Amino acid sequence: MTKATKLLTALPPPQRARLMALAQEVSFAEDTRIFEPGGTADRFWVIRSGAVSLDQEVTSLQRVTVASLGSGDLLGWSWLFPPHQWDFGAVAFSPVRAYEFDAAAVLALCEEDPQLGLTLVRSVAEILAYRLETTRGKLLEQYSISRRSR
């Protein structure tokens, strides 16, 4: 896996058009917390511009950034998997413009158009695999740095 899959460009034009018919344009001001871990995952976004940081709470006083997302990136996948709760938190690192999708409407569209559903799930799986690979690399790098500094 060499590059990140972009959800909207991964869909063939007719399927992309059907999905985009459900999109709403939204924006988030810099430093806006978009969602918290454990919150209800009932939507997702495709970032049009700006940057979003995904974070994980390490202690009640400390959060660690686990990924940075930008233009074209998928924000949120927990809507696709039970129990439909966010695994991470997300905050706008800069002003963000995005397409927002209601999960229930997208899932209904996937039931109506199984080919779109399969393509969408495969694309999300590729995105997750890429992010897992990237995170693994960061963890290995961090581990080797901490071992060298001992």
pLDDT of residue 4: 62
Q: What is the pLDDT of residue 1?
A: 43
* pLDDT value of position 56: 83
Instruction: Give dist(CA 148, CA 61) in Å, integer.
Output: 27
Contact 47, 67 (CB under 8 A): no
pLDDT value at residue 80? 93
Question: Could you state, in chain order, the average pLDDT of each consecutive group of 10 residues for the chain (150 residues)?
Answer: 73 94 98 96 97 86 85 94 94 98 97 95 91 78 65
68-15-102 Cα angle (round to 5): 55
pTM of the model: 0.87
Q: What are the DSSP calls for 49-109, one per residue? A: ES-EEEEEEEETTEEEEEEEE-TT-EE--GGGSTT-B-SSEEEESS-EEEEEEEHHHHHHH
